Structure 1
Amino acid sequence: MTSEPLTVPFTRTSLFDPPQEILDLRAERPIARVRFMDGREGWLVTRRSTIREVLADPRFSARQELRNSAFATTTDIPPARPGQFISMDPPDHTRYRHLLAGQFTVRRMRRLAAHIEEIAEEHLDRMAAAEPPVDLVLAYAAPIPALVISDLLGVPRDYRERFTQEIVGMSRVDASPEEKVQAQANVAGYLGELVRRKRAEPADDLLGGLLSDSDLTDEEVTNIGFLLLGGGFDTTANVLGLGVLALLLDPAQIPVITDPETVENAVEELLRYLPIAPGTVRAALEDVEIEGVRVRAGESVMVSIPEGNRDPGRFADPDTLDLTRSAAGHISFGHGVHQCIGQQLARVELRVGFPALFRRFPTLRLAVPPEEVPLRDDMVIYGVRELPVTWSAR
């Protein structure tokens, strides 16, 4: 067995499986030495139980200035700006998280279901009126979460379409670096303006609630809004896009996700199976022993979420998509104090989006061979760049 560190990120060789290099580690080395893009060495954890252990251990820090980046070459990363709570540790993280928890209640998210259904049906109407084939990403998978998060933040209707285009622009794979930076600046600038308007004229939405229920500054609320956009749009859009591709390649499972009795569990299985996010990184604040290996203070540990979700110790035949299995216990939303605060919103969007699509278009199919579907395999968030689909007229 070689002691040479593996290099992060890994090369993807399969539509739906984690990179083979990570799969090979499952039995051999549940914690392995890796070299990050900035040249520094750290560790990779692939076993589900150990991933949960790392994410729940306060001896591992989420502070971005302390940890390596798995996808950047720079080593000079500044501390999180006010409001960027996902890159903070308690007690700062706890303060922001507590304030947001009151805005992301399960009851509030479920009340959004009817509105999400309206958004989905509106876009399905547009698809039906179009001449197939269409790109499902642009026509359906991307607009739904973009509009939903815009509504949640209280973006006025007269600006919503433009705002949605800017959000999509932040994650376009065909955009130049300059175009992406400009889209991010446009979104951040508008969010700042929106927060100032809501400070002067309180509104019954998430940003308005944060402003009225706390002593947060405009800068803090603006940065929180920007974080929520990133977490609430790109991941959900790619679960929808890649999930539809998986189902079109295995259409016998589509009735499971269109059945109201089984859709919730089917969505959990898709969340488990689809390797949308590669994982996250933590920095050891002190020496910690993991799986018999001593991680030194200051070293970074990357946890592989896709591989944890394929752990045969938790899921039988884990590399197979089976919408009838119980996928309870997957870690797609993380674990511990940093577990995704918007997970209930994502679940509602997916429970609406998948069945609505296949009910409206029961003959939906790929318009190109599977190997010609362009993938986002050069992006941190994995998915499909485009998904050309067609259907038969009734």
Structure 2
Amino acid sequence: MTPTEAVVLPTGRPTPFDPPAELGELRESRPITRLAYPDGHRGWLVTSHALVREVLADPRFSARSELRHLPVDSGGQAGRPAPPGMFISTDPPVHTRYRHLLTGEFTVRRMRRLTERIEEITRVHLDAMERQGPPADLVAAFTAPIPAVVICELLGVPEQDRERFMAQGTTLMRTDVPQEEKIAAYLAMQAHMKELVLAKRAAPTDDMLSGLTGSDLTDEELANIGFMLLGAGLDTTANMLALGTFALLRNPAQLDVLRSEPDRADQVVEELLRYLSVVPFLVRTALEDVELGGERVSAGETVTISIAAANRDPGRFADPDRLDLLRASGGHVAFGHGVHQCLGQQLARVEMLAGFPALFERFPSLRLAVEPGEVPLRTDMLIYGVHRLPVTWDAGQ
């Protein structure tokens, strides 16, 4: 392969927990390389930790959706301007306005105050698992419902609407669903969110969406913000909890660390975030010609940022392909970097801090109910994880 030959984004995983080996090979030989996109675009792929952070911190690289190309089949999600309120696909100053309105809702202090409620939700679902008895699908019984209940309560989504929102959100995240199904799910989810916004304006309750009705945001902006936060809150943490449990069950020595070192729970969560990287990539587009890693990225070219490769960079993390819960994992880019760094990252941390220890404390004999190779992986989704995690335990223990 010549230095100018474009590669296709590698997707084949050697294990459920490791990114494609080709990403590591590229990171060592060509940390910025030409990438061929499914729509015919020729852009770039960045795989080193240093270059990933550089791109994410550089305002010359845009997050605007109408400028980007996706390295996987986009299903029509690329090439269109972001609807009002969908600020993760905008740049400052538009992004700044929306982000400023929401930042106060996701502070570390406020998320920590939610800990007691999140722990209660966790206990409720563990109680239900225990009553039902083994075996169980941990995704359906535990890892998916907890973040769903939390984000729905924060936004003020009525309980009777939550299952519907979850199903529609799953359809939108699949890469193997026909475009017409995605459009139908999107429109339905948007319509339901607009109805919710109107209801909050008419009769505000104690939730985030009601609080935002006091701002200068329009109904459309509020609905899109709610839609975006709901989708993010439903999927990413659910998959970190599920894939993280799978990884711990396959690494008993590390599971012992979690059990024996409760004071290190924060460190455990950070290492799992680094090691698993359930958001495998982000994309940015150059607004002007930029020199990056010795290459000239031309205006209009999209750069795919491999979060998974950056978090396994041996130049930043020693022995990076090993799960080490005693590792100091600060500096990982699982939540991104720069002005677009994940707004809900503190909420995700609190949910994981509550979920992992409680699960293994309640079920000390928890184990897979199938062979590891039978666990269905989310290779057909934009957010990586597992579709199901069949587990069992010694009842009455």
- TM-score under structure 1 length normalisation: 0.94
The CA deviation string for residues 79-137 of structure 1, in whole angstroms up to 9 with x for no partner, is: 11100101101100000010110211212111111111111111111111124211111
Match of 1:228 in 2: 229
Q: What amino acid does structure 1 have at the position aligned with 2:223?
A: T
Rounded Cα–Cα distance in structure 1 between residues aligned with 2:139 and 2:181: 20
How far apart are 1:257 and its partner, in Å? 2.6
C-alpha contact (below 8 Å) 1:124/1:140 kept by paired residues: yes
Rounded Cα–Cα distance in structure 2 between residues aligned with 1:32 and 1:87: 24
Q: What amino acid does structure 1 have at the position aligned with 2:341?
A: Q
Match of 2:19 in 1: 18
Greater alpha carbon shift after TM alignment, 290-299 vs 170-179:
170-179
Greater alpha carbon shift after TM alignment, 355-364 vs 99-108:
99-108
C-alpha contact (below 8 Å) 1:68/1:75 kept by paired residues: no
Q: How does 1:209-288 map to 2 (within 5 A)?
A: 209-212=211-214, 214-258=215-259, 259-288=261-290
**3-state DSSP of counterpart to 2:263:** coil
Match of 1:155 in 2: 157
* CA RMSD of superposed structures (Å): 2.0
**3-state DSSP of counterpart to 2:300:** coil
Rounded Cα–Cα distance in structure 2 between residues aligned with 1:169 and 1:290: 36
Q: How does 1:346-361 map to 2 (within 5 A)?
A: 346-361=348-363
Q: What amino acid does structure 1 have at the position aligned with 2:279?
A: A
Q: What amino acid does structure 1 have at the position aligned with 2:246?
A: L
Which of residues 130, 133, 143 in structure 1 aligns to 2:132? 130
Which of residues 376, 382, 385 in structure 2 aligns to 1:383? 385
Match of 2:59 in 1: 58
**3-state DSSP of counterpart to 1:297:** coil
How far apart are 1:164 and its partner, in Å? 4.7
Rounded Cα–Cα distance in structure 2 between residues aligned with 1:167 and 1:361: 30
Rounded Cα–Cα distance in structure 2 between residues aligned with 1:285 and 1:167: 31
How far apart are 1:21 and its partner, in Å? 1.4
Rounded Cα–Cα distance in structure 1 between residues aligned with 2:293 and 2:173: 37
Match of 1:194 in 2: 196
Distance 1:67 1:164, change over 3 A: closer
C-alpha contact (below 8 Å) 2:7/2:35 kept by paired residues: yes
C-alpha contact (below 8 Å) 2:360/2:366 kept by paired residues: yes
Rounded Cα–Cα distance in structure 1 between residues aligned with 2:134 and 2:43: 48
How far apart are 1:166 and its partner, in Å? 4.9
Q: What amino acid does structure 2 have at the position aligned with 1:98?
A: H
How far apart are 1:167 and its partner, in Å? 4.5
Rounded Cα–Cα distance in structure 2 between residues aligned with 1:279 and 1:246: 20
C-alpha contact (below 8 Å) 1:374/1:386 kept by paired residues: yes
Rounded Cα–Cα distance in structure 2 between residues aligned with 1:173 and 1:388: 23
Q: What is the total number of aligned residue pairs between the two structures?
A: 393
Distance 1:127 1:166, change over 3 A: farther
Rounded Cα–Cα distance in structure 2 between residues aligned with 1:372 and 1:177: 29
**3-state DSSP of counterpart to 1:385:** coil
Greater alpha carbon shift after TM alignment, 257-266 vs 172-181:
172-181
C-alpha contact (below 8 Å) 2:168/2:185 kept by paired residues: yes
Distance 1:179 1:291, change over 3 A: closer
- TM-score under structure 2 length normalisation: 0.94
Greater alpha carbon shift after TM alignment, 184-193 vs 14-23:
184-193
**3-state DSSP of counterpart to 1:267:** helix
Match of 1:94 in 2: 96
How far apart are 1:156 and its partner, in Å? 2.8
| Structure 2: gaps spanning 5 or more residues | none
Rounded Cα–Cα distance in structure 2 between residues aligned with 1:17 and 1:167: 26
The CA deviation string for residues 147-178 of structure 1, in whole angstroms up to 9 with x for no partner, is: 11000101234544555555556557997766
Match of 1:81 in 2: 83
* Aligned-pair identity (%): 60
Greater alpha carbon shift after TM alignment, 222-231 vs 197-206:
197-206
Rounded Cα–Cα distance in structure 1 between residues aligned with 2:298 and 2:184: 39
